[in-house]
Amino acid sequence: MSISFDGRVAVVTGAGSGLGRSHAKYFAANGAKVVVNDLGGSVAGTGGSSKAADEVVKEITDAGGKAVANYDSVATEEGGANIIKTAVDNFGKVDILINNAGNVRDKSFAKMDLKDFISLMDVHLMGAVYCTKAAWPMMLENRYGRIVMTSSAAGLYGTHGHTNYSSAKISLIGFMNALKQEGTSKNVLVNSVAPMALTRMTEEVMSPKLAPKMKPEYVTALIGWLCSEESTLAGEIIEAGMGYYSKVQIVEAPGYIFKGDEVPTPEQIRDHWGDISDMTGAQPYPGADDVIRAVFGKLKAS
Ligand code: NAI
């Protein structure tokens, strides 16, 4: 059965170019009514214009799809609320939210102005928070929602010159992990993608020769699956790009227990470092409560 979004309403932030444009066009081509949000600014997130969002709306409507533009910045509470209101005013609801808008301001931490750190937290993390906050009650009430956070390998693993970006991108994983606990039983499913694609954001560090292999559409295909009615996935982190799709997971080692009531010394921790850091049998946990329960179980058994 092919995946259809007939009757669904999708909001894609930062959909005026790159990955967001590809996601918006995909949803519209497969039956969804789409809000194409974009501030229309520079890669750094400065300036603004209606052009980027308008052009994508035109591409969609020319192809027979349904879309409206929104030019708000995701980085304010009012902006996030208005983006979701655009969906409700025009199409009556919101079923799908792709938190995709993003900017970059690369510099080593020593040289970084904190304004550039805060800007990235505002756009990537708070932008996702504001939009999700506005859409969340309706999704819970409708017992239907699909939300995707756009994270990054830079956040999962770190990159030089990206302290602001890495911090914002890993924060989205924490946001997703906690939302998962609140939304999954009500069929509001939140997942994250860590994309790899050639866009205006990455064109300075990637060769144009890679363009065909690094098409945003490779990432969009995953978004389509995660947002389908059929998918029950929640709390997943998936690296995607160039035909490569791979689940990423935080796992915890079995660990080592110091028996008795004595607090171990730093020297004892040093001497048992091999046991503490042995990842043989490492496992993921569905939630923080499960880790605590597991530790109590191990203490009892030891
Ligand atoms: P892009 O620069 O083509 O697209 C980002 C869009 O977000 C732009 O159209 C921009 O105008 C919009 N935007 C920026 N600030 C905004 C704001 N405050 N409110 C509304 N819209 C805003 O770049 P790309 O690559 O398509 O990026 C999309 C997302 O994917 C970003 O979150 C980025 O960090 C993430 N990402 C991209 C990777 C890649 O390989 N291209 C790698 C990892 C993550």
Q: Which of 71, 74, 81, 66 is CA-nearest to residue 9? A: 66
How many alpha carbons fall within 13 Å on the CB side of residue 176? 27
Residue nearest ligand 1's atom 29 by CA: 100
Q: From the CA of 45, how far away is ligand 1's center (Å)?
A: 9
pLDDT at 189: 99
Per residue in 114-126, pLDDT tens? 999 999 999 999 9
Q: Which atom of ligand 1 is nearest to the CA of 38?
A: 21
Residue 204: is its pLDDT beyond 90? no
What structural domains and CATH numbers belong to the chain? 9-248 (3.40.50.720), 251-301 (1.10.287)
Backbone torsions φ then ψ of 89, nearest 5 degrees:
-60, -40
Q: Which atom of ligand 1 is nearest to the CA of 214?
A: 40
Q: From the CA of 20, how far away is ligand 1's center (Å)?
A: 7
Of the residues 11, 26, 35, 38, which should be mutated to test ligand 1's pocket, given the most ligand atoms within 8 Å of the CB?
38
pLDDT at 185: 98
Q: Quick one: average pLDDT of 100-121?
A: 98
Of the residues 166, 199, 220, which should be mutated to test ligand 1's pocket, given the most ligand atoms within 8 Å of the CB?
199
How far apart are alpha carbons 106 and 115 in whole angstroms?
Answer: 12
What mean pLDDT value characterizes the chain?
Answer: 97
Burial class (CB in 10 A: 0-12, 13-18, 19+), 130: buried
Q: Quick one: average pLDDT of 101-129?
A: 98
Decide if 130 is catalytic.
no
How far apart are alpha carbons 239 and 247 in whole angstroms?
Answer: 6
Beta bridge pairs of residue 149: 99, 192
Question: Could you give the percent of the chain with pLDDT greater than 90?
Answer: 96
Residues 142, 64, 4: CA angle, nearest 5 degrees: 40
Per residue in 23-66, pLDDT tens? 999 999 999 999 999 999 999 999 999 999 999 999 999 999 99
pLDDT at 1: 85
Residue nearest ligand 1's atom 17 by CA: 73
Residue 205: is its pLDDT beyond 90? no
Active site residue: 26, 71, 144, 165, which one?
165
Q: Which atom of ligand 1 is nearest to the CA of 19?
A: 26
Residue nearest ligand 1's atom 35 by CA: 150
Beta bridge pairs of residue 66: 33
How far apart are alpha carbons 89 and 9 in whole angstroms?
Answer: 12
> What residues are in contact with ligand 1 under a 6 Å CB criterion?
13-14, 16-20, 37-41, 43, 45, 52, 73-75, 100-103, 123, 127, 150, 152, 195-197, 199-202
Q: Quick one: average pLDDT of 119-136?
A: 98
Q: Which atom of ligand 1 is nearest to the CA of 202?
A: 41
3 state SS of 275? helix
pLDDT at 207: 87
Q: From the CA of 15, how far away is ligand 1's center (Å)?
A: 8
Per residue in 219-250, pLDDT tens? 999 999 999 999 999 999 999 999 999 999 99
pLDDT at 5: 98
